[in-house]
Chains A and B, each alone.
Chain A
Amino acid sequence: MSRIVKEYKKIKKVLEGHGEAFENLIVQLAPVNEYDLLSWKATIRGPSDTPYNGFSIGLTIKIPSDYPISPPMVKFEPYKMPHCNVNFQTGEICLDILTRQHWSPAWDLLHVLKAIEQLLQEPVPESPLNVDIANILKEGDRTAYTGLVRYYFCGGT
């Protein structure tokens, strides 16, 4: 429990401008309210040279009671996320470091967001949760991919 308090303090410092590494990535990363550090909200910038460039993407993070032994549970919420490794309906992310087998307690929430950024930059169509986008990517159709993502972000259903 005290671990997440420490992380909160560190994150505050990082976001206040000590960490240049995260300046291009994180818009917001904070607990939903100060009395409950077990549920967090994050907003990240879509990385440049991806179709997500220029959009801000919302995430919810749930901290399990035995964190950091167990990994945090991260979802794309409340907005739908078109990405081949994200379940379009639930926002669930297919990312190895978020599973119990591959998670390491030495990592923290900043590492997690960094990993998600990397997933946005390098989608893995081989293990898809969104088959349609995975197929488009396998065909190598960047234009369709970009168009589809833009469509959803600019008010598609």
Chain B
Amino acid sequence: MNQNVTDASEFSKTSLPQLGQLDTLLRCHICKDFLKIPVLTPCGHTFCSLCIREYLTKEPKCPLCLNELRESSLRSEFLVNEIVESYKSSRKQLLESLKEATLTVDAPPIDITSESDGDDDIQIVATNKKRIQFRQDIVEPNKVNKRVPKNTSTFNNVKKCSKTTENLAQCPICQELFPLKVLERTHLDECLTLQSLGKAPKKSASLKDASSSKISDILSKKQKTTSPYEKENFHVNRYMFSANSGDRQRLPKTNFTSMSLNQIKHKLSSLGLPTNGSRQNMMVRYNHYEMLWNSNFCDAIAPVSESELKRQLASWEASQKTSNLPSSNGNTIASLMKRSNNGSSYQRLLMDFKTDKFERKLWIDMFGREFKSLIKEAKRGMLSTAKHEEKSSQGKAQETV
């Protein structure tokens, strides 16, 4: 029913069904979606920052192992964030090419090359190699494994790989370029284990420079057919230069029971939050904003602005209002219409006016009558002025006669 809902079983029909595991592992166990701003618990589990923070306000324990867990002990995981993001950006292509590989394993190569005219000979070679590589992956995964971690036999390998697959990515640990699939499936794991064992191949700066110049050579040759270097390595670079800027303080938990209504209002307005609604509403609003703030400024690799947070808060509040209705069936137009009779709901609609969440239909429903009467009035006005002009022109005509 929803096109955007993806799940791991999509890989079961491809030539690499075991990729489904990776797909599952990169998802949050609370929202079952890909990890968004992942955070690590002391017990070694990873969740979306917002998901786990929301749950921890209810129960102070890890959803997976049920061990005690405090919000303050969550740590952000920039690497996982970038892995998920880069995986997400290539997932669709990956799925399609894997499906294609299963479909065309026995078909002649012309089928594919006919689609992509241009430098024909290269393309044929490339697609052939690609296909063979897929087969190798299935039959002998060890072969790939063996070849990849040898950091010394570098550039021939890299060159070969760069021809065979179009998605190259740089390993954030050993700085080598690898096809994205190899990097994600095997190489990152190996590199990480090597590093944790203390055997990380440390490279001298000069070597690094040499490698990067070589890489840029290769890439400049490739550039005609693939996307630019920066785009390919966006996630790697973002990870490399990631740092918690720390220019925003963590918002503290607030104990509202001892505060007067005015103090609460003052607190909210000092953060630039709306102060309407009951005491309870304001407390809930502050708590949710605190969660959004801390998740954004403490955990996110690329924090959004405060005004974006406020927009998120507003749309969250709007969704809360509708889902807490006694009629219970969430976002149906009918239940919203009921609210509209209360008179205040156009303000809520107006809040989303500039975003994609704006409910156009409802808006039209609500003000359709007014719109129609305005249109009528305008038309009538136009008619009468037209008549007026006609009359006056007739009058003038008569005068002239």
Q: Which residues of A contact B (CB under 8 A)?
A: 1-3, 5-10, 13, 18, 34-36, 38, 65, 68-70, 100-101, 103-106, 108
A104 and B58 form a contact (CB under 8 A): no
Q: B58's closest neighbor in chain A, by CB?
A: A69
Given A7-B32, A65-B323, A100-B59: A38 and B330 interface contact (C-beta under 8 Å): yes
A105–B63 CB distance below 8 A: yes
User: Complex: how many Å from CA A101 to CA B61?
Assistant: 10
Report the separation of the CA atoms of residues A38 and B335 in the bound assembly, to the nearest whole angstrom: 15
* Pairs A-B, 6 closest by C-beta atoms: A65-B323, A106-B29, A106-B63, A104-B63, A105-B30, A36-B329
- Enumerate chain A residues within 8 angstroms of B5, measured Cβ to Cβ: 2, 5-6, 9
Chain B 1-48 interface residues, beta-carbon cutoff 8 Å to A: 1-2, 5, 7, 9, 12, 29-33
Tell me how many residues of B have a C-beta within 8 Å of chain A: 28
Within 8 Å of chain A (Cβ to Cβ): is B54? yes
Report the separation of the CA atoms of residues A7 and B2 in the bound assembly, to the nearest whole angstrom. 12
- Which chain B residues lie closer than 8 Å to A108 at the CB level? 32
* Interface SS, B side: loop
Residue in A10, A18, A69, A101 whose Cβ sees the most chain B Cβ within 10 Å: A69
Given A9-B7, A38-B329, A2:B323 Cβ within 8 A: no
Q: 9 A-B residue contacts at CB 8 Å?
A: A1-B319, A1-B331, A3-B30, A10-B9, A38-B328, A104-B63, A105-B30, A105-B55, A106-B64
- How many angstroms between the C-alpha atoms of A38 and B33 in the bound complex? 19
Report whether A69 and B32 are in contact in the complex, using a CB–CB cutoff of 8 Å.
no
Separation in Å of the A110 CB from the closest CB of chain B?
12
Would A1 and B330 count as touching, CB distance under 8 A?
A: yes
* Cα separation A3 to B32 with both chains bound (whole Å): 6
The reply to whether B330 and A5 form a contact with Cβ atoms under 8 Å apart is no
Residue of B nearest to A6 (CB): B32
Nearest-Cβ distance from residue A35 to partner chain B, whole angstroms: 7
Asked if A65 and B330 sit within 8 Å, CB to CB, the answer is yes
Q: Are A101 and B59 in contact (CB under 8 A)?
A: yes
Tell me the complex Cα distance, A68–B28, Å.
12
Q: Are A35 and B63 in contact (CB under 8 A)?
A: no
Query: Quick check: A13 and B9 within 8 Å, CB to CB?
Result: yes
CB distance from B373 to the nearest CB of A (A): 33
Give 11 new A-B contacts, CB below 8 A, not counting A2-B5, A36-B329: A5-B5, A6-B5, A13-B9, A36-B330, A38-B328, A68-B30, A69-B30, A70-B58, A103-B59, A104-B61, A104-B64
Closest chain-A Cβ to B12's Cβ sits at a distance in Å of: 8
Q: Does B51 reach chain A (CB closer than 8 Å)? A: yes
What is the minimal beta-carbon distance from B295 to any residue of chain A, in angstroms? 15
Considering the chains assembled together, what is the distance between the CA atoms of A111 and B29 in angstroms? 13
